[in-house]
Each structure stands twice: as structure tokens, then as C-alpha cells.
Chains A and B, each alone.
Chain A
Amino acid sequence: MTDSFTINVDGRDIQATKGQTILEAAEAAGIYIPRLCHHPELKPHGSCRICTVIANGRSCTSCTQPAEPDMEVQNNHPQVEMWRKQLIEMLFVEGNHFCPFCEKSGGCELQALGYRHGLTATQHPHLFPRREIDATHPDIMVDHNRCVLCGRCVRASRDVDGKRVFQFVERGPEKRVAVNSDAKLSRTDVDLTDKAVGVCPVGAILPKRQGYVAPVGAREFDHTPIGTSVEGGNGSLEV
């Protein structure tokens, strides 16, 4: 008995194995499905919705949806592309993303998704929410202005670091990442080498004293779009 079967992505037959998600099967075949909250070392979360595809006629998040035999998947599809563009836009306007001075600029996955999708301006008005900065920790800072609620830090701290430093609190528009029931970061046992610190896709959790180390022109997404390495290009992207 074989666990291998065929699924079709944008008209191309690819091999998938039982237990693989659509995103994983596509990636193994060199097809990049844009994503933000997904991280290969963490349990799928399915919250950012950017990896949405149409599978057998229904929209679903490809990072959580298991691949099934003979599945028909639309990834580079005008409708899907429009959804993704809208989602990326909404992530930009919901927070305070000032790329010009952000230390993460050039290596930021949200910004890189904007570049990849040709986003030059947002149609929605910016909300400019008032958010906190936690710089109490000697080695790590948390800027909630840039947080996109992907939950990577929450999952990494809980499942990899075994510390549960970060968690979600509140709901809806009030939802945010908090540390140990609202104590500041310096009063947690978070460490600079923790997975939770390294997996932030944006500039919300940053190591201190390492800002702007790579000059403009030498940063991760300066010359190659996000996803290039998956698609077999010469990019240096590691996802």
C-alpha cells in the first residue's frame, strides 16, 4: 500500500503523501504558496489566511488543509490573488507599520508579501491604533505596533521553548500578544536564543543592539521576492 498520490495545483500534477498539507505538498514540488503565520517548525495555526487556496471548489487555508487524492487546487488564481492582496493590505492598515525606520525592513515577511503582490498603496484607511512598546528586557524588545497576531511566538514559546512566555489576550480588535498575564518582558524567563524570539515575521519581537546590520541592497528581500527559493530561483529565502 502506498501513501503517495497525485494532486493538481494550477493545472500541474504533483505528488503528495498522506499527512501532508496542501502547502507542504506544493512546496515539495517547488510551488510557493504565500503564507505569513505558517512556520515549518511550528504547528499550523491557519490564522492569517494568506495561504488561502481554492481546493475542490472551496476556499481553505493550505497550511492546515490535508492534501487528498485527486484534489484540484487553485493557487495562482485571480480570485485567490485578490483575497491575498486584501488580507495583506488589512494587516498593514490594522497596525502601525512604518517601514522607513523599522529595523526589520528588507527582511520583513509582511513587507515582502506586499512587494510580491505589487502593493504600492492601501485602499483601506489606516487605523493608527495606539499600541505599547515593551523595552524592559535587556536583550529583547517587543513593539506591538508591528504585531500581526500570527501567533508564531505563542506557539514557539509553548511548543519549542516550553516556556509559555507569550500568549493571546482579549478578543476581536482588542486581541493582542501579552507576556505572563501582562507583566513586562523583563519579568519572564524569555531568552535571546529562544525560538519565540527568532520566528517573528515582522519587527514586533527584535533582539536589541542588532538593528540595521545589513545595509540596504544586502537584505533578504532587496533583490529577490519572498518564495523565490521555494520556486527554485537563486534567492536566499529560508522559510
Chain B
Amino acid sequence: MPHTSKPKVATCSLAGCFGCHMSLLDIDARILQLAEIVEFDRSPINDYKEFQGHCRVGLIEGGCCNEENVHVLRDFRKHCDVLVSVGECAIMGGIPAMRNTIDLKECLDEAYLNGPSVYNPGGRVPDDPEIPLLLNKVYCAHEVVKIDYHLPGCPPSADTIWEALVALLSDNPVSLPYELVKYD
């Protein structure tokens, strides 16, 4: 049952691997405490596909590798007071951004036409209109919208996410000890 008085939190995974969401769930028993103090809006955790209302905090996992990622990220910016980049992919593109050193066409050709294990007799690169168009490169979240906080890590530890969430939900600035800020 929705409790409208609770602050809302929304999360999404763009060009990410869901590892950061796994880390969020890794807060273990504290997730009961989290459920006490917040209500989850749009998130893969409750499978809400659209925003139900305005949110206090939005957690962004992953950067933008296609046009749908950009659309979702802009929607999050519109609906969230505070937007947080969670993890290396949101912060600098991460593993998906390894393709940024290579032309998009060269990447697609290698993946669908020329790769040593490719079987594609039609010689067609997937182009169904249902598939979001790939961007020329992978963009980090703060190249697309304004991001208020960055939580590095691959993934950021559960303690890092917890400490940041608790601070933001109690209107305090996020200040993390040395051991909770890591890039891997």
C-alpha cells in the first residue's frame, strides 16, 4: 500500500550490468529499514515502468549507449530532486565505453559481420525499429543531464550506497570516508 508521506526513491539501469542494483540489495537487513523510510517509485526492483510521482532521490546505474537511455535519463532528471550517478558506468561510461576508442560501424561490423565466431548468412546488422538506436559513443550520465552526486565503484559497496542514501534522505550532504570511495 503506498504511503504518500514517505520520500520516494527511483532507480534505473541504463548501459549497466545491474551489478549496482545487486549492491543496493546487498545492504542486507537494512533493506527493511529502507522500506520503512522510503517508498520506491520507478525501479527495476518493483518493476514500475513509469514514474508515479515526484521523487526525492534518483539512482542512475550505467551511462547512455542508445537513444532510449537518454530518454530515460532525461525523464529521471525531470522527476527527481537529487540525481546520483552510481558506479563507474554512469560516471565515466565504464566497460561499455571501451567501444569509444573504436568507430561505431567498425564495432557493429565486428560483432555482426566479421567476428571469428559470427554466423550471419544474411549479412544484416540488426536494424529493427523496436531496437533503440545506438549512439555514436557511450556517454556518461553527467554529459547528458545535470548529476548532483557521484558514487564511484564497480559496483559501489552496499555501505557506500547506504551511507549516501541515508545522508540524502535526511537532507545532509554526502560525505564518505576514504574506504568507501573506490573506483573498482
Complex CA distance for A99 and B183, rounded to whole angstroms = 6
- A224: B residues at CB distance < 8 A: 178
**A99-B183, A105-B183, A115-B182 known; A130-B154 Cβ under 8 A:** no
- Kindly name the residue among B98, B150, B178 whose own CB sees the greatest number of chain A CB atoms within 10 A: B178
Asked if B92 is at the interface of the complex by the 8 Å CB criterion, the answer is: yes
B101 in contact with A131 (CB, 8 Å):
yes
Binary A-proximity of B160-184 (CB < 8 A = 1, otherwise 0): 0000000000000000001101111
* Chain A minimum-CB-distance residue to B85: A121
Asked if A201 is at the interface of the complex by the 8 Å CB criterion, the answer is: no
Query: Smallest Cβ distance from B97 to chain A, in angstroms?
Result: 7
Asked if B7 is at the interface of the complex by the 8 Å CB criterion, the answer is: no
Asked if B57 is at the interface of the complex by the 8 Å CB criterion, the answer is: no
Query: Smallest Cβ distance from A146 to chain B, in angstroms?
Result: 13
A121 in contact with B142 (CB, 8 Å):
yes
Binary B-proximity of A103-146 (CB < 8 A = 1, otherwise 0): 00110000100110010111001101111000000000000010
- A216: B residues at CB distance < 8 A: 184
* Chain B minimum-CB-distance residue to A96: B101
B85 in contact with A99 (CB, 8 Å):
no
- B150: A residues at CB distance < 8 A: 120-121
- Kindly name the residue among B151, B179, B182 whose own CB sees the greatest number of chain A CB atoms within 10 A: B182
Asked if B152 is at the interface of the complex by the 8 Å CB criterion, the answer is: yes
- Kindly name the residue among B142, B149, B182, B183 whose own CB sees the greatest number of chain A CB atoms within 10 A: B183
Partner of A120, one of B94, B152, B179: B152
Main secondary structure of the interface of A (DSSP, over half): loop
- B152: A residues at CB distance < 8 A: 120-121
Q: Which of A221-239 contact B (CB under 8 A)?
A: 222-225
* Chain B minimum-CB-distance residue to A126: B92
A128 in contact with B100 (CB, 8 Å):
yes
- A114: B residues at CB distance < 8 A: 183
Q: Which of B136-167 contact A (CB under 8 A)?
A: 137, 140, 142-143, 147, 149-152, 154
Query: Smallest Cβ distance from A77 to chain B, in angstroms?
Result: 21
Partner of B100, one of A115, A121, A126, A131: A126
Name 12 A/B residue pairs within 8 A (Cβ), A-sorted: A98-B98, A100-B88, A100-B94, A100-B154, A100-B183, A100-B184, A101-B184, A102-B184, A114-B183, A118-B181, A128-B100, A225-B178
Question: Hey, which bits of chain B sit against chain A, CB under 8 A?
Answer: 85, 88, 91-95, 97-98, 100-102, 137, 140, 142-143, 147, 149-152, 154, 178-179, 181-184
